[in-house]
């Protein structure tokens, strides 16, 4: 994806005669920002005590997940409502290699760190809670540049319909640009120069309260950025935000539509699928929609293919072999963990109402070696699930974390799963023996 490397290396190990593939996890939701790992060699059974814990480290209160590049784990941590801290750990041992602290005072509801950083070509890019956008150099262990997005783009961190919970952005590197959502009243996103942080372009506002991120999508044969905007309020009759395609060249709007899907606060990014389809999901009674964006002459046509009431409030669903898997707990509805047909939105199964079924809430999930790793946000239980439209098929489970509000994105690299609760990050060995 752009200059972000998907580094696939063949590990000198064999499992059942097959070469084990290993990969970095250098950004939000992995190599392709879709929650899918290309790795193989996943253990399909776990010990009674659960997967082996390789190491664990204390972290500041927050929700930012880790990323992995070149054997190093990177986390944008936060300390005492005063500093953002880039921390770098050794993937094998958990030893802290270096840290870089930047003063960034401030506090918001649900306080703490927010999102994973992005690693590319020896540099680390991240956005802190109070809207500071950073570029760090790994070799020199130093800050290269920094911009305060609220100051530069007039983002009001106290206004309810802007960013009262701080900024939650994981920068997207693509086509020589560093792209971030701005969460402000009059602009939806900005493209910056990765080398200097200078602004290249900004895109028009798409709506109101919006915590999602731009996503690369090729629609109608044109590579672009797709992003939904938020509705003004949760009311049924309130104005909805736009869903739009934004030009990578200059930030102009290629197409936009409103009224097809309304979400008070979009959080998961859009996901581009084959046949010019765009998957959008969210909480606040928005549900999940599949759009098709076709090229027509010099413009585009947008059609809703289906709309299903259950939606994922925080995390991007996993799409595997024609089916969508999501944890659908939100403030106003809970359909449990669901499987939907990508073709027509039909609910193949749901754990809601099943006696004794696992409750994953708003927890994160990944797909590795054809298997789903699903983490409960309220119990810290990790489950290995075989994706199938025929029903929920749990293969293994173990309690791996304590606490609640376990919302952070997980990461997977070299057979290791990295995950965290509000104050502790762990590394688990999930390789096949």
pLDDT digits (tens, 9 = 90+) for 381-423: 999 999 999 999 999 999 999 999 999 999 999 999 999 999 9
Is 132 in contact with 102 (CB distance < 8 Å)? yes
Tokens 């580094």 — which residue? 7
| pLDDT, mean over the chain | 93
75-205 belongs to which CATH class? mainly beta
**Measured between alpha carbons, how far is residue 281 from residues 43, 229, 291, 311 in Å?**
31, 12, 11, 5
At residue 242, the 3 state secondary structure works out as: coil
* Burial zone of 94 (CB within 10 Å; 0-12 exposed, 13-18 middle, 19+ buried): middle
The model's pTM? 0.94
Q: Which two tokens stand for residue 231?
A: 């509705």
* pLDDT band, very low/low/confident/very high, at 11 (cuts 50, 70, 90): very low
Tokens 């395609």 — which residue? 245
**Which residues lie closer than 8 Å to 65 by C-beta, 6 or more apart?**
28, 75, 115, 116, 364, 408, 409, 410, 411, 418, 419, 420
CA 222 – CA 294 distance, rounded (Å) = 10
HSE, side-chain direction, 13 A CA sphere, residue 155: 32
Q: Which two tokens stand for residue 336?
A: 């449990």
CA 65 – CA 26 distance, rounded (Å) = 11
Domain limits, the chain:
75-205
**Measured between alpha carbons, how far is residue 335 from residues 106, 172, 311, 325, 409 in Å?**
36, 31, 8, 12, 21
In the sheet where 347-350 sits, what is the strand order?
Answer: 318-320, 323-327, 337-341, 347-350
* Burial zone of 292 (CB within 10 Å; 0-12 exposed, 13-18 middle, 19+ buried): middle
CA 86 – CA 208 distance, rounded (Å) = 30
Mean pLDDT of all residues in 120-128: 98
pLDDT digits (tens, 9 = 90+) for 278-290: 999 999 999 999 9
**Measured between alpha carbons, how far is residue 376 from residues 30, 88, 372, 396, 398 in Å?**
20, 26, 13, 14, 11
Quick check: 13 pLDDT over 60? no
**Tell me, what's the pLDDT at 18?**
57
Phi and psi, residue 73, nearest 5°: -105, 130
**Measured between alpha carbons, how far is residue 412 from residues 69, 109, 168, 213 in Å?**
11, 29, 21, 21
**Tell me, what's the pLDDT at 401?**
98
Quick check: 428 pLDDT over 80? yes
pLDDT digits (tens, 9 = 90+) for 237-253: 778 899 999 999 999 99
* pLDDT band, very low/low/confident/very high, at 161 (cuts 50, 70, 90): low
* pLDDT band, very low/low/confident/very high, at 7 (cuts 50, 70, 90): very low
Quick check: 17 pLDDT over 60? no
At residue 389, the 3 state secondary structure works out as: coil
At residue 161, the 3 state secondary structure works out as: coil
Mean pLDDT of all residues in 296-305: 95
Quick check: 6 pLDDT over 60? no
At residue 2, the 3 state secondary structure works out as: coil
Quick check: 192 pLDDT over 90? yes
Polymer length of the chain: 433
**Tell me, what's the pLDDT at 340?**
98
Is 178 in contact with 127 (CB distance < 8 Å)? no
Mean pLDDT of all residues in 60-75: 98
Q: For residue 331, count other CB atoms closer than 10 A to its CB.
A: 12
CA 409 – CA 117 distance, rounded (Å) = 11
**Which residues lie closer than 8 Å to 350 by C-beta, 6 or more apart?**
310, 335, 336, 337, 338, 339
Is 21 in contact with 37 (CB distance < 8 Å)? no
**Tell me, what's the pLDDT at 209?**
79
Tokens 């925080």 — which residue? 314
Is 396 in contact with 45 (CB distance < 8 Å)? yes
pLDDT digits (tens, 9 = 90+) for 202-220: 999 999 878 999 999 999 9
Q: What is the DSSP pairing of strand 365-368 with strand 36-37?
A: parallel
Tokens 């879709």 — which residue? 34
Nearest to 300 by CA among 231, 249, 252: 252
Rounded to the nearest 5 percent, the helix, strand and coil shares of the chain are 0, 45, 55
**Tell me, what's the pLDDT at 36?**
98
At residue 150, the 3 state secondary structure works out as: helix
């Amino acid at each position: 994806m752009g200059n972000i490397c998907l580094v696939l290396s063949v590990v000198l190990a064999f499992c059942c005669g097959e070469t084990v593939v290993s990969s970095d996890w250098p950004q939000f939701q992995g190599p392709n920002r879709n929650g899918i790992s290309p790795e193989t060699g996943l253990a399909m059974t776990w010990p009674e005590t659960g997967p082996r814990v390789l190491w664990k480290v204390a972290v500041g209160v927050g929700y930012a997940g880790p990323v992995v590049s070149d054997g190093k784990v990177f986390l944008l941590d936060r300390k005492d409502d005063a500093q953002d801290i880039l921390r770098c750990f050794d993937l094998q041992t958990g030893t802290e290699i270096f840290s870089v602290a930047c003063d960034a005072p401030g506090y918001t509801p649900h306080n703490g760190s927010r999102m994973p950083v992005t690693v590319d070509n020896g540099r680390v890019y991240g956005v802190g809670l109070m809207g500071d956008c950073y570029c760090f150099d790994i070799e020199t262990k130093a800050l290269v540049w920094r911009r305060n997005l609220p100051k530069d783009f007039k983002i009001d961190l106290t206004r309810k319909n802007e960013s009262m919970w701080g900024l939650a952005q994981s920068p997207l590197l693509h086509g020589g640009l560093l792209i971030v959502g701005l969460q402000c009243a009059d602009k939806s996103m900005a493209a910056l120069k990765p080398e200097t942080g200078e602004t290249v372009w900004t895109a028009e506002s798409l709506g109101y309260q919006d915590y999602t991120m731009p996503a690369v999508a090729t629609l109608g044969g044109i590579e672009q950025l797709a992003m939904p905007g938020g509705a003004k309020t949760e009311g049924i009759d309130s104005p909805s935000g736009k869903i739009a395609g934004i030009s990578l060249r200059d930030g102009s709007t290629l197409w936009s539509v409103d009224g097809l899907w309304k979400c008070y606060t979009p959080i998961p990014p859009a996901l581009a699928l084959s046949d010019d389809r765009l998957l959008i999901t969210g909480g606040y009674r928005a549900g999940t929609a599949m759009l098709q964006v076709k090229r027509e002459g010099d413009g585009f046509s947008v059609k809703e293919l289906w709309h299903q009431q259950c939606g994922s409030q925080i995390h991007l669903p996993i799409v595997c072999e024609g089916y969508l898997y999501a944890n659908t707990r939100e403030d106003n509805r809970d359909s449990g963990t669901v499987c939907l047909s990508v073709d027509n939105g039909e609910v193949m199964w749901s754990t809601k109402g099943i006696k004794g079924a696992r409750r994953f809430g708003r927890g994160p999930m990944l797909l590795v070696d054809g298997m789903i790793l699903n983490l409960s946000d309220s119990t810290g239980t990790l489950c290995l699930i075989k994706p199938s439209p025929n029903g929920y098929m749990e293969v293994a489970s173990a309690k791996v974390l304590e606490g609640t509000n376990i919302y952070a994105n997980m990461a997977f690299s070299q057979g290791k799963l990295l995950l965290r609760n509000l104050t502790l990050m762990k590394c688990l060995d999930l390789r096949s023996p």
